[in-house]
Amino acid sequence: MDYLEPAAPQGMMPYRAPGEPREAWLALAAGIDPEVARYFLISARCGCFMQAARSLNIKATLLRKRLALLEEQMRRSLFSYQGNVLALSRDGLQLQARLVTLANERRLPVQEQPLIRLAVAETILHDILGRDLISLLRRNASVRLEIVSIDSPQALQAVEADVVLWLAGVDSPQPGPGFATHPPQALACLDYVPHIAKRYSRLAARPDSVDDLADYMLVQWQPDGLVEALAPWNHVVEQRLAGVVQVQAYPLMLEMIRCSACIGLLPRYMSCFDRGLMALPGLFAQDMQRQVWMAVNAGAAHPQEVQMIVAMVVNTFEERREWFG
């Protein structure tokens, strides 16, 4: 991100008035607006205007404008580029030291941000929300967010959060959170089908029935073994005397499907999330479906920050609507 240091007439230091003592201008530091001083110190610490703007939760254009006005006020160039790296000029280093001293003298308080807790089903966090959550945090680096992964109904009942996303039946959000919420919102209906890695799926040997699964190793994410809606698959896994792996870690199950010629049960959208995976529909006569539900804590103390998370979640599911069709 370019930030051009104001040009000075040849042979003169930028902005210095004739005969002005070299350090006299530092007396102006006490009159700098505290907010602008904070902008300057964070920019100096980050060494990047874009990162500083994210930390301050403001637009980079506004940050650069305020810093340009500060340079005019101080009559000094405070930043320069050393190659592609943003650095403080000699005057900028002096101002930084002076402002740090003033801040310590004034004991300026850190502006505390409200803590927002998001509890979300582990598969939804990994497959659907992860990337957009990272983008949200990149845009709002000062946010305080606690993310809790839910992998079972027991974990859902035990946790308390401002926003919670969980998997339950298609027609009912029960069992739901163990605390009072506003009416739950249904976000997407997920179909579950066996999946295999494309590189291990030769058309001639591809399984066409439940009986054909006997020729493949199966991998099961253990929390799914307790889900009634997935009973047809779980029954096949339970009957296995060999060729089955039970894992507690969801990413490990995905890796085994990708790299170990295993077949595992996944939401149908996984072939959109990972183009290397292929769904194997039609093996089971019964549909296996679950609904993604979202609810907001009825006692949430910071509705504006909570709404930011809710809007991000709703937008994410809307953008991926074709995944669930």
Third-level CATH fold of 115-324: D-Maltodextrin-Binding Protein; domain 2 (3.40.190)
Residue 258, both tokens: 């990708």
Q: Would you list the DSSP string of 177-236? A: -SS-BSPPEEEEEEEEEEEEEGGG--GGG---STGGGGGS-EEEEGGGGG-GGGHHHHHH
| Burial class (CB within 10 angstroms; exposed 0-12, middle 13-18, buried 19+) of 146 | exposed
The Cα–Cα gap between 14 and 40 comes to 18
Q: What percent of the chain has pLDDT over 90?
A: 60
Residue 105's pLDDT band, with cuts at 50, 70 and 90, is low
Is the pLDDT reported for residue 46 higher than 90? no
Task: Tell me if residue 264 falls in helix, strand or coil.
Answer: strand
Contact 250, 122 (CB under 8 A): yes
Mean pLDDT of 156-174: 95
**Strand duo 144-150 + 277-279: pairing:** unpaired
| Residue-level length of the chain | 325
- Tokens found for residue 284: 């089971």
In angstroms, the CA 114 to CA 154 distance is 27
Q: Which amino acid is at 82?
A: Q
pLDDT digits (tens, 9 = 90+) for 1-28: 444 333 333 333 444 444 445 567 778 8
Which among 92, 85, 80 has a CA at the least distance from the CA of 39?
92
The pTM assigned to this predicted structure is 0.69
| Mean pLDDT for the stretch of residues 66-89 | 87
Q: Do domains 24-106 and 115-324 have the same CATH topology?
A: no
Which strand (E) or helix (H) includes residue 116?
strand 115-121
Give the architecture-level CATH label for domain 24-106.
Answer: Orthogonal Bundle (1.10)
Residue 22 confidence (pLDDT): 52
Listed by start position, the domains of the chain span: 24-106, 115-324
